[in-house]
Structures are given as structure tokens and as C-alpha cells.
Structure 1
Amino acid sequence: MTDVACQLNAELQQPPVICLMGPTASGKTALAMALFDALPCDIISVDSALVFKGMDIGTAKPTAEELARYPHQLIDIRDPTESYSAADFCQDALKAIAISRAKGRIPLLVGGTMMYFKSLIEGISPLPEADVEIRKAIEIEAKQKGWLAMHEQLASFDPISAERIHPNDPQRLARAIEVYRKTGNTLTQLTEIKGDKVSGNVLQFAIAPKERSDLHARIELRFNQMIEQNFKQEVVALKARDDLHHDLPAIRCVGYRQMWQHLQDECDHDEMVFKGICATRQLAKRQLTWLRSWKDLHWLHMEDENNLQVILSAVSKL
């Protein structure tokens, strides 16, 4: 047997990785807890909002009691002032998966941040970290010349990225120019290179509603429950800090952005609730759009009571 074949065989002998994806409010957490009761597994969160400390109600984070019984990794690992990229997630998740497998347990990845799943399964491109000085220089140049001129500049050395990035999207436009100025390689060139990814058997499941209206009803119910659970006071506490502002990724999270606006008297309570529910529905729509193009995906229906057995059956066949 060749070295490559031996390595492949060793990877397949490892416990499988279960990926449980789906839109917000579809019941992923409850199904993950049922799997934890049925299998020797470790739950690893795949959620860009749950990483933030002090953001519990608006993210629908499992309660302290639930976390005590069903430990989740990659929850409460960042302060809201900090960022957490897909690259950060992959590094943390691959480490957690390796530790879980070394114990003979099954890593169970659960969440709705599709970019994290995609990066982990396919491998993430080796893009450089943000460079504050280069970004400042680009912003100054954009003020002088305009973003349309910056877009034309991008098109001169990376026409593929320029075709994909709209001139009215300064954040992505600046990032593409920054990458080129820092590395000498275009964003297109670097995204074609894939780094480390999860190995071995990976079972991918997505839980989704049969009818979109059912998910919409769940989203509205859950948002109103958050309001009753004192979501407002949670954001009041965040807003009282002098190091948080509305442009941070944490505060831009769905629900938090709308409540922050309400606390700044930009909208009344009813309008905040309406906007929050609409934004959550839009998030769910984007998540489902991602999933429809996903490869090797097993679909589960939100209303089906047999979802647990379907996953257990798939695991038993490996």
C-alpha cells in the first residue's frame, strides 16, 4: 500500500464529522442535543454571532443550564470589540475536531454560518490579515479620486474580482486592492489556492422547512420571546460600554443592529421589532440560498420527527 493510500485509509478510520446546517430558528440546537444524548459526540458551534461574550439573548445562545449538560465549543471566545474571521474559525475548528477524534468521539458541527462550513469543508484561501496602514491609504485615495476610479484601478490588475465586486461596495473593493498591494498577488489568484480542510468521512445534513411560512412564524415567535427575555437590557449593557459602536461586526449582528438603532432613537419599539424580524427572515433566506447549491447534502425537514434516526442510520453505515 502506498503512503498516500495508507494516509487515506487512516483518515477514513477516524470517527466521522457530522455537519448539521440550516437557517436560523430551524431547530438545529435541539437536534444537536438529541444527537449528543445518542452518540459519543462533541458539539462544535459554527456560528459567527455565538462567539461573542455578553451576547446571549439576541443570538439565541443555549442557556447556561443547556451548556452545562450539552457543552458547546467555540462559544463565548471573543469580546464584542474583536473580529472573528473564517480563517480564525477553521483554525479553531480543526483543532477541536482533532482533539475530539483523538478521544474516539464524533465531532458534531452545528450552526448557520455557511461561509465557515464552506471554508472548513473545502479549505480556505491563504489571504493576508488586514493591514491598517494600507487600508487607510486606500481610503484617502478613494476620497480624492472616488470609488469608481478605485474600481477601475482594480479592473486593471484583477478584472475577475472587478466583475464580481460592485463599485458601490467599498469594503470588498478596498479589501481586493489591499490584498494586491500587500502581497503582489490578486484576490482571484489567492482564492484559487486552498489551505487545510477537514479530512475523513464528513456527513453533511441541512434542516429546513417544507413551507417558508413555517420558518417565518418560528422567527417571529423567537424574536418576540427575546424581547420578553429582556433583550433590550442586554443591548443597553453593551451600549453602555465606551469601546463598542454600531460599525463593529458584533453590533451589526441581526437583531442587535435594530435594537441599537432603537436605543439611539432612530426607530420606535414596534418598528425595531418589525425590522428585527424582517432582517432575521432575510438572513434565513440567504442561508437557504447557500444550502441549495451545496454538494453532498442530506436534507432534513424541520417538521419531521425522524431526523434523529436518519442521522444515526447514516453514522451506523460508515
Structure 2
Amino acid sequence: MKKLPILFIIGQTASGKTDLSIKIKSIFPSLIEIVNMDSLSIYRDMNIGTAKVSKEILDKYPHKLINIRDPSQNYSVKEYYKDAINVINMCHINKKIPLFCGGSMFYFNTLINGISEYNMVNFTKVKTFINYKFSNYIDNKKIFNNVNNIYKKFKNNNEYKNIYKIKKILSIFITQGFIKYNFKKLNKKYNLYKFCILNNKDNIEKIIKNRFFKMIKNGFENEVRILYNRGDLNIENNKSIRSIGYKEMWLYLLGKISYKSFIEKTIKSNMILIKNQNKWIKKIKKNLLFMENNELYNKKIINIIYNIKNNI
């Protein structure tokens, strides 16, 4: 049985992934279905700070898995995985090729390597107990060691800093008594074409700063103020508000940091994000087709898609 194709465009923040995906869609309007692979673009009313494509472009070139959640709703990687698989299936039923585009390496890695199939845990049932346990441990390493005796999957001892992960694993064990792993990899069923768009290393900080100040000019502060004034959102409980830029602006609106600090912290957080993206990319570089963001490489990608089209 012939394997059906799936396209991926990944890369650092501000590398030109979105523009390339739009160009590809414009050339293959009836063949390509763009699927959002950015963990923040899933949220409605968070447009400027996420560098989301404009409403005009979305009207002309609709994207899947974009604007599907309110900022008050947390959205797990498992939910994304399930939604993405449904989109893939529908694309192939309709004789289309899904094109996943975005910088969320966690989403990308989950789609490529699969996700554990344990039942979703109702964390609220054990949240009070777990938070109590953490509050009574001065040193998180102690509870990390206890969890690691059960889990035995932590890669190094520095992961005691990942409080969210430790709490999640502990909640699974408390409610189920076991942790089950059953990974479903896409490459067993599909032909995966993974393009990675590279930024110019020498200009990356300049690109990030220019993008950031353009975001400010376009009304980012007002966008966050509207969310802030809703009254039902906060940093502690909403992943959306903990995201880069939104968190820093939120702290500024709360009066906890200065405007200058907001600028410095947001730029610094973006640079850290790029470093983390690069780490992900280095881990999987053998399986990626690297491209620079220029006309020559764009034409190469388009030619590859023409060949895919002729063979499905």
C-alpha cells in the first residue's frame, strides 16, 4: 500500500516559515491544506503577540487548528496530537496533502514520534494533595527522586526543575497506579517530508528585535490589556498568558516590572526560545531537509511538492 505524504515546515522563530507556507498554498490551492503547528496560534484573540497570519490571509487561505481555543482554555499536547491526526485523515480522504507549519518543536516531535496512550488524568482530583506535598518539601530534589523511582524515564537529574512534568507524572501514578507507553509513529504509515528553514545566524538578534518592536507598534499592549481586563485570566492558571511576551506584558500591567524590563525580558525570552529550538533541530538534523529562506530554496521545495503531486 502506497504511503500518503505529510509535509512539515519547521524552523526558528521569525525564519519565514509562515510566508513560505502561504506561497506554497497559493501555488497548490486545491492540493495543500495548511495546518497550524504553533502552540500559541491555537488561541483566539492572541494575534499580534503570536505573529499570527492576518484575518485577510486566513479568509483567503484557511488554516486548520488555528483559533480553536479561548485563552482561558488550556490545551495539551495530547489534544493537539489527536486533533492533528483527525486533520491528517480528513486531508487524505479529500485527496489533499497536509502541510504542518510552525515553531512548536514539542508539537512536531510528538507528531513524528507519537505520544503515550494513557488515559487523560483528572489532575484536579489530586491537585490539592500534590501541591501540598510540594509545599512541604523545601528541596524539590527529594520529591523528584521519589517520582523518578516510579517513572525511571528522566534523562538527567536536572529535571527536578521541571515541576509541571513531575506533578503530571505523580498525578498519573496516584490516579491510575501505573504509566503506560504506546507510541504511534507517523513515519510507519506516511511519507514525511520535513523542511527546516534556517535564519542567518549573524542577523538573528536584529530580526527578533525588529519583529518585537513591530509587534509593539501594531498594538500589542492593547491586545494584552483587553485580555487582562477580562478578569478571568492569570499567569498562574493559563498557559496562554505564560507565553513569551504576554507574560512579560502581564507583569508590567500588574505593576511588577517596568516597561523597560518588559522589553528586555521579552527579547531575552525570544533568544532563549531560539536556542531551545536549535537544540531540538540538532537532535533530529539527520532527518531534516535544510533550506535557507530565499527564492532558490523556495523553488526547490515547490519542485519537490510537484514531484509528490505526480506520484500520489
2:108 is aligned with 1:117: yes
**Among 45, 56, 62, the residue aligned to 2:53:** 62
TM-score (ref. length: structure 2): 0.90
Aligned length: 301
Whether the 8 Å CA contact 2:112–2:185 is kept in 1: the answer is: no
Letter in 1 for 2:135: K
Q: What pairs up with 1:54-203 in 2 under 5 angstroms? A: 54-130=45-121, 131-146=123-138, 147-161=140-154, 163-164=156-157, 166-186=159-179, 190-191=180-181, 193-195=182-184, 197=186, 199-203=189-193
Whether the 8 Å CA contact 1:52–1:77 is kept in 2: the answer is: yes
Q: Which residue of 2 aligns with 1:285?
A: 275
**Which segment drifts farther, 171-180 or 92-101?**
171-180
**1:44 is paired with a residue of what secondary structure?**
strand
Letter in 2 for 1:56: N
Letter in 2 for 1:75: I
Q: Which residue of 2 aligns with 1:205?
A: 195
Q: Which residue of 2 aligns with 1:5?
A: none
Q: Provide structure 2 residue ranges, at least 5 long, that are not aligned to the other structure.
A: none
Compute the displacement of 1:165 (Å): 5.5
Q: Which residue of 2 aligns with 1:3?
A: none
Q: Provide structure 1 residue ranges, at least 5 long, that are not aligned to the other structure.
A: 1-8
Q: Distance in 2 between matches of 1:293 and 1:166?
A: 18
Q: Distance in 2 between matches of 1:202 and 1:162?
A: 27
Q: Distance in 2 between matches of 1:169 and 1:94?
A: 28
- CA deviation map 1:151-174 (0-9, x unaligned): 232243334438456334332222
Letter in 2 for 1:109: F
**1:76 is paired with a residue of what secondary structure?**
coil
**Which segment drifts farther, 129-138 or 219-228?**
129-138
**1:167 is paired with a residue of what secondary structure?**
helix
Letter in 2 for 1:87: K
Whether the 8 Å CA contact 1:254–1:276 is kept in 2: the answer is: yes
2:269 is aligned with 1:276: no
Whether the 8 Å CA contact 2:248–2:262 is kept in 1: the answer is: yes
* RMSD of equivalent CA atoms: 1.9
- CA deviation map 1:184-243 (0-9, x unaligned): 224xxx34x20364632110000012x323222111111100100110000000000121
**CA gap 1:168/1:122 in 2 versus in 1, 3 angstroms:** closer
Q: Which residue of 2 aligns with 1:4?
A: none
Compute the displacement of 1:284 (Å): 1.4
Q: Which residue of 2 aligns with 1:298?
A: 289
